[in-house]
Amino acid sequence: MKAEEFVRGQGQYLADLPDQDCLHVAFVRSPHAHARVGEIRAPESSALIAICTGADLLADISPFRVIAPGHLDYDWYPLAHDRVLFVGEPVAAVVAETPYIAEDLAAEVEVEYDPLDAVTTLDESITGGTVLHAELENNVLFNLPVNEGATADTFAAAHLVVEQEFEYPRQNALPLETRGVLARFDPRDQRYTVFTSTQMPHLIRSALSQILNVNEDDIRVIKPDVGGGFGLKGQLFPEEVVLPALARKLGRPLKWIEDRRESLMAGGHAHEERLHLSAAFDADGNLLATKSLLDGDAGAHSTFPFGAGLDPLTGALNIFGAYRHKASEFTARAFATNKAPAVSYRGVGQIQSVFAVERLMDIAADQLKLDPAELRKLNLYENSEFPVTSPGGNEFDTGSYRETLEIALDRADYTGLRREQETAREEGRLYGIGLATFNEVSGVSIFGYDGASIRIGPDGQVRAFISTGSSGQGHEKVYGRLVAEALGISPELVRVIEGDTDFCPVGAGTYASRSMVTTGNLLESAARELRDKILMIGGLLLSPDDLIPMENAANELRIADGVISLVREPTATVTFEAVAQLAHMKNFDFPLPQELVEAGLECTHYEQHKTVYSNSSAVAAVEIDPDTAQFSIRRCVIIGDCGRIFDSSTVDAQLVGGAAMGLGCALFEHLAYDSNGQILTTSLLDYLVPVSTDIPQIEIGHLETPSTFSANGTKGMGEGGTMAMPAVLANAVADALMDKGRLLNKIPLSEENIFQLLQIS
């Protein structure tokens, strides 16, 4: 069992791969946010095996364009060759016998830079004169207005319009295992093998085939065990291109493991966004219309495959999604700045919009003189209203939006908490209660189809090949059990194989909490199809004179614990293994009638899954220490609904783990830059994440409202706990601060930020 291997330290992560024949790569990275690159001088050292600059690499690769709707595309190069656009951008790769020598040599490479003005904020990017990408007219990398003007009348006639700007900081998903690449080129079959710590092997292969100018089949991408992805490993990075290109050139396998400093500096930033939201209400507090402008700070580049619009667009598409309203318009934009490129990070897009929307709902409740719980209950969709098409055009299958809130309020004893707050306030203490409730996009399949294959061998060993990949979520256990249950055999017979493009069917990999929805359903349908065939062959063995056709097999035969029997005569049995053997091997006593059933036991299914929406509600109570501006979490309840639950311990772990991660987002995580574009947070002393003592007791609960869009009833799970935390804690802190809390419009909820609010007189 994988989980046990991991706990025993027996996982095989990228750094654990055999590397006896490898040379090691270190990258020379820009110390400037924006500069022209001049001459690059290699150190005079016999230890230097090779150096490759951006200009050198041009001969071996094609520039790459991230083409996605709404995006302005331009040529992307894995190594900067004329200008560097952010601190940490790789300009050259140095190859040596050991990683240590490579690092030392990289530090000795002299690069002439001619510094240019850096664009370090959204405002500078929007209005400043410096344009980062020569092919583009300005710094807009993405711009998508939707339903422009659709809400004007409603806003004009509304009883109350609440409007507020919110800021969400730049953060890093911080997987414990940093990224890494090991690349080989085999001259005999002219193929690349690229081991990379990624969430999406097939998409990496597609991009590499374009950049390296070879067929997809000339590249094998393998994802070893991955020690956390959280979205960060869901895109193509420069190192994934440079290593295979250089491995071919040098005729030697190459390895590179990212260090924490590189990771924090250049390995994928996320979430930075400014949101300007308006909501129109009638006199009773009914939400009528919403208008949103979401501006993402994309950093220097649009990354493959999602592009610069990832955060603002994902947030905008489902903004105010849990609340009934008639009209909505939004604009999602992303701008280039001289900072590290933005990538995905758990809760992508929605963690920001949920924070902003939930803050806005509290501000509205205050102005409408309604309790925040009442305002939400009034506007959340009821279970009976589904299916719903939102004003933004999203189809919500089923949900328990209001119900989860009611359960969370009940579980947290909301009335009791309010009483406690009254007492606390009488004593002059700063005690606050926050709510958050939202729905969550999951199972998104924007890149086309996902595949799953099941192949049963002649001895009855089952292998399931999938296109999604685990980065620690426990796929092996869940899918092994799922296939075994669908086939009616022991899970011990099933092996799950993922993350190898030579064996696994094509698919987009794991992101957007999509694996159970996509792979889960595909494995189940493929296993069912195989089960019918297994039953039919079992029927041939059990009842050779009275053949049961395939279409009747499921009714007339049973399989349980690997034993097949006739419904009408349950004592006669044949084993699953005997069927597997007959399907593959010639049996002289009993030839398989090929006119009735094909030999072999293999089945592959592909599907492009519809988006499904999970939902969650959270309640938190906090108390702020007025002297230190620190707050403590007194109570934190999250109720999630991810549809049918297949494996409850995995789902529990996802919810709690997600909440711990969201706590980091809410309280600490902030990648800071100075005004020259120097990053200030490149170690874990500066970029703070929660440790176990920072994490309060998180009380969780689940509802199971099955999805009608997904055959197995599941919806995505894993990001709801994360999204809940900035919103629910910000609302609790704002509530504790009373009038001063009205101005709480950004996170992290650091002592510094809370102290500033406390100073308001």
- What is the C-alpha R_g of the chain? 28
**Contact range with ligand SMO by CB under 6 A, out of 104-112, 343-351, 496-504, 548-556:** 343-351
342 to 236, 671, 753: CA distances (angstroms): 12, 12, 24
What is the token pair recorded at 470? 């685990």
| CB nearer ligand SMO, residue 345 or residue 479 | 345
Closest to ligand SMO by CB, 265 vs 723, is 723
> Where on the phi/psi map is residue 509: left (φ > 0), alpha (ψ -120 to 50), or beta?
left
Residue (348 or 633) nearer to ligand SMO, CB: 348
**Chain position carrying tokens 């979520």:** 473
- The least distance separating ligand SMO from the CB of residue 85, rounded to whole angstroms, comes to 23
Helix (H, G, I), strand (E, B) or coil at 400: coil
Q: Is 346 in the site for ligand SMO (CB under 6 A)?
A: yes
Q: Which listed residue (88, 175, 234, 716) binds ligand SMO by CB under 6 A?
A: 234
Say if residue 312 is exposed, middle or buried (CB neighbours under 10 Å; 0-12, 13-18, 19+).
buried
Position 642 contacts ligand SMO (CB under 6 A): no
Q: Which is nearer to ligand SMO, 173 or 222 (CB)?
A: 173
Nearer to ligand SMO, 231 or 643 (CB): 231
Q: Among 86, 330, 345, 355, indicate the residue that binds ligand SMO (CB under 6 A).
A: 345
Residue 231 Cβ vs ligand SMO, minimum distance, rounded to whole Å: 2
Report the DSSP beta bridge partners of residue 434: 620
Provide the β-strand partners of residue 634.
Answer: none
| 626 φ, ψ (degrees, to nearest 5) | -65, -20
Question: Which residue lies nearest ligand SMO, judged by its C-beta?
Answer: 231
CA-CA distance, 412 to 414, in Å (whole number)? 5
The answer to whether residues 70 and 306 touch, using CB atoms and an 8 Å cutoff, is no
Neighbours of 470 (CB within 10 A): 23
Q: For ligand SMO, which is the closer residue by CB, 335 or 345?
A: 345
Closest CB to ligand SMO among 200 and 246? 200
Alpha-carbon dihedral 344, 347, 349, 352, rounded to 10 degrees? -130
As measured in angstroms, the least distance from the Cβ of 181 to ligand SMO is 19
CB of 129 to ligand SMO, least distance (A): 34
Q: Toward ligand SMO, which CB reaches closer, 171 or 437?
A: 171
d(CA 538, CA 189): 43
Q: What angle do CA 327, 332, 338 make, to 5 degrees?
A: 165
Distance CA 622, CA 624 (A): 7
C-beta of residue 336 within 8 angstroms of C-beta of residue 119: yes
Contact 162, 278 (CB under 8 A): yes
Answer whether 616's CB lies under 8 Å from 641's CB: yes
Residue in the structure block whose two tokens are 């620190």: 630
Cβ contact 292:327 at 8 Å: no
Least separation in angstroms between residue 234's CB and ligand SMO is: 4
With CA atoms as reference, report the closest residue to 503 among 114, 180, 220, 79: 220
Quote the least distance from Cβ 513 to ligand SMO, whole Å: 7
H helix or E strand, kind and range, residue 315 = helix 310-317
- Closer residue to ligand SMO, CB minimum distance, 409 or 441: 441
- Restricted to residues 359-398, the positions that interact with ligand SMO (CB under 6 A) are none
Q: How far is the CB of 442 from ligand SMO (least distance, A)?
A: 9
Neighbours of 665 (CB within 10 A): 31
How many residues of this chain bind ligand SMO (CB under 6 A)?
9
Rounded Cα distance between 553 and 536, Å, is 5
The minimum distance between CB 521 and ligand SMO, in angstroms, equals: 18
Q: Name the minimum Å distance from CB 717 to ligand SMO.
A: 12
C-alpha 226/C-alpha 209 separation (Å) is 23
**Is 54 or 307 the residue whose CB approaches ligand SMO more closely?**
307
Which residue lies nearer to ligand SMO by CB, 514 or 533?
Answer: 514
Stretch near ligand SMO under the rule CB under 6 A, chosen from 160-168, 344-352, 691-699, 728-736: 344-352
Question: What residues from 439 to 468 belong to the interface with ligand SMO (CB under 6 A)?
Answer: none
Per CB under 6 A, the segment of 243-251, 340-348, 489-497, 596-604 that binds ligand SMO is 340-348
Q: How far is CA 531 from CA 527, 543, 557, 579, 712, in A?
A: 6, 17, 10, 11, 17
Tokens (6 digits) for 612:
């499904």
- Nearest to ligand SMO of 173, 430 (CB atom): 173
| Out of 88, 90, 99, 231, the residue judged to bind ligand SMO by CB under 6 A | 231
Amino acid at 122: L
Nearer to ligand SMO, 33 or 348 (CB): 348
Minimum distance of ligand SMO from residue 511's CB (angstroms): 4
How near is the Cβ of 344 to ligand SMO at its closest, in Å? 4
Residue ranges in 655-714 that form contacts with ligand SMO under rule CB under 6 A: none
234 vs 399 by CB, closer to ligand SMO: 234
Q: Which of 557, 564, 601 is nearest to 582 (CA)?
A: 601
Among 35, 348, 484, 637, binds ligand SMO (CB under 6 A): 348
Considering only 338-346, 455-463, 622-630, 696-704, which stretch makes contact with ligand SMO by CB under 6 A? 338-346
Q: Which of 124, 719 has the CB closer to ligand SMO?
A: 719
Q: Strands 388-389 and 395-396, how do they pair?
A: antiparallel
Name residue 743's beta-bridge partners: none
**Between 17 and 46, how does the x/- string for binding to ligand SMO read (CB under 6 A)?**
------------------------------
Residue 344 interacts with ligand SMO (CB under 6 A): yes or no: yes
What are 704's two structure tokens? 């199971």
* 19 conformational bin, left if phi > 0, alpha if psi -120 to 50, beta if neither: alpha
- Quick one: which segment of 147-155, 162-170, 183-191, 339-347 binds ligand SMO (CB under 6 A)? 339-347
Q: How far is the CB of 345 from ligand SMO (least distance, A)?
A: 5
Which residues on adjacent β-strands are paired with residue 466? Answer: 452, 498
Smallest gap from residue 238 Cβ to ligand SMO (A) = 19
Name the one range near ligand SMO by CB under 6 A: 342-350, 575-583, 685-693, 705-713: 342-350
DSSP E strands, 600-711: 602-607, 612-624, 631-641, 699-703
Q: How far is the CB of 269 from ligand SMO (least distance, A)?
A: 13
Helix (H, G, I), strand (E, B) or coil at 72: coil
Q: Between 264 and 348, name the residue whose CB sits nearer to ligand SMO.
A: 348
Nearest to 2 by CA among 196, 230, 178, 227: 227
Beta-carbon count within 10 A of 585 CB = 11
Q: Give me the least distance between CB of 299 and ligand SMO, in Å please.
A: 16
Residues 6 or more apart in contact with residue 422 via CB below 8 angstroms = none
φ/ψ of 32, rounded to 5, equals -110, 150
Site for ligand SMO in 188-207 (CB under 6 A): 199
Rounded least distance, CB 89 to ligand SMO, Å: 23
- Residue 537 or 665: which CB sits closer to ligand SMO? 665
* Residue range at the interface with ligand SMO (CB under 6 A); choices 109-117, 190-198, 341-349, 428-436: 341-349
Q: Which is nearer to ligand SMO, 239 or 311 (CB)?
A: 311
Query: Using an 8 Å Cβ cutoff, are 457 and 463 in contact?
Result: yes
298 close to 334: Cβ distance less than 8 angstroms: yes
In whole angstroms, how close is the CB of 199 to ligand SMO at the nearest point? Answer: 6
Contact code string over 492-521 relative to ligand SMO, x by CB under 6 A: -------------------xx---------
Query: Where does this chain bind ligand SMO (CB under 6 A)?
Result: 199, 231, 234, 344-346, 348, 511-512
